[in-house]
Amino acid sequence: MIAVFTEATVSVVAQSSPDTGVRSIAALSARVAYTFMCLTLCWGVLTATGWIRRLGERKALRSGHMSLAMLTLSFAVVHALCFLFLSSNAWKFTQLVIPLMPGTFVRHTMGIVALELMLAIAITACLHRWTAYRRWLWLHRLAYPAVGLGAVHSLFGAIANGHLSVLWLAGITLLVPVMTLTVLRFLPGRMLERIGLVEERV
């Protein structure tokens, strides 16, 4: 979730506006959130499939996944809130929480939807004892499209702010394992067996 700047304010940054500090925090928190987002999904898939069960108990692995998710959300929220504190072209709270508001772009909407989905998933993660497992699972699996939206939001943000040339390699490096694990996660068992990731037991 790389910095969400409006086109008009990019030029203001270039002229080293008084918002340079806020924007730097927004950019940094976005990059850290992106990193934790990728790690959270990887760790979640590995925990759910049991592929890393030799590293520890399932409960400990789930705690690790939850810690990473909390870090992702914290940095993403910091990133979003930074835009309320700009001295010029500051965002309104409604623009920050309601998608497709006037004055925002589609890439902003993607980031807003991704963050809100992640928040919903985090809240319902604690409620799985009080709801049907299938229903909870359906909601939890929305994390995959949320991460996808977050990644596209980051890509468009980097392009709009002229940071793509600096960030593309790091961004792709973090995203490829996420995509690989997601694909593996939804591959049929037979295919995984053929790759050698699942053993046939007799």
Partner 1 sequence: MSSGYERTRRRIHRALVLMVALFLSQIALSGYASAAQPNDGPIGPADIELLTKVRLAGLWEMPAGEWAEKRSENARVKEVGMTIMVDHGRLDSMTRALAGQLGVPLPSQPNADQQGWLNEMQNARTAAEFDQVFGNRLRAAHGAVFSVISQVRAGTRNDRMREFATTANQAVLRHITLLESTGLVDYTRLPEASTAPKPPQIVDVDPIDVVVVISVAMVEILATIFLVGLLRKPSGRAGRRRREDSSAHALPADPFVTTRT
The CA distance from 38 to 49, in Å, is 17
Per-residue tokens: 67: 């810690």
Between 16 and 202, name the residue whose CB sits nearer to partner 1. 202
Q: From the list 11, 16, 59, 200, which residue makes contact with partner 1 (rule: CB under 8 A)?
A: 200
The size of the chain, in residues, is: 202
Between 20 and 180, name the residue whose CB sits nearer to partner 1. 180
Interface size with partner 1, residues (CB under 8 A): 35
> Which stretch in 63-71, 82-90, 101-109, 177-185 sits in contact with partner 1 by CB under 8 A?
177-185
Q: From the list 28, 71, 119, 198, which residue makes contact with partner 1 (rule: CB under 8 A)?
A: 198
Q: From the list 8, 20, 21, 50, which residue makes contact with partner 1 (rule: CB under 8 A)?
A: 50
Amino acid (one-letter) located at 22: V
127 binds partner 1 (CB under 8 A): no
Q: Is 89 left (phi over 0), alpha (psi -120 to 50) or beta?
A: left
52 binds partner 1 (CB under 8 A): yes
168 binds partner 1 (CB under 8 A): yes
Gyration radius of the chain's alpha carbons: 19
Residue whose token pair is 């909870």: 136
Q: Which residues contact 46 (CB under 8 A, 6 or more apart)?
A: 52, 61, 181
Between 94 and 183, name the residue whose CB sits nearer to partner 1. 183
CB of 180 to partner 1, least distance (A): 4
Q: From the list 60, 137, 145, 191, which residue makes contact with partner 1 (rule: CB under 8 A)?
A: 137
> Which stretch in 23-31, 93-101, 143-151, 193-201 sits in contact with partner 1 by CB under 8 A?
193-201
Alpha helix (H) residue ranges in the chain: 7-14, 20-49, 58-81, 93-97, 106-125, 133-140, 143-160, 164-186, 189-195
Distances (CA, A) of 78 to 82, 107, 143, 154: 6, 18, 20, 15
The CA distance from 120 to 140, in Å, is 9
> Which stretch in 18-26, 52-60, 85-93, 113-121 sits in contact with partner 1 by CB under 8 A?
52-60
Per-residue tokens: 73: 């959300």
Residues lying near partner 1 in the complex (CB under 8 A) are found at 46, 48-55, 137, 140-141, 159, 162, 164-165, 168-169, 172-173, 176-177, 180-181, 184, 189, 192, 195-202
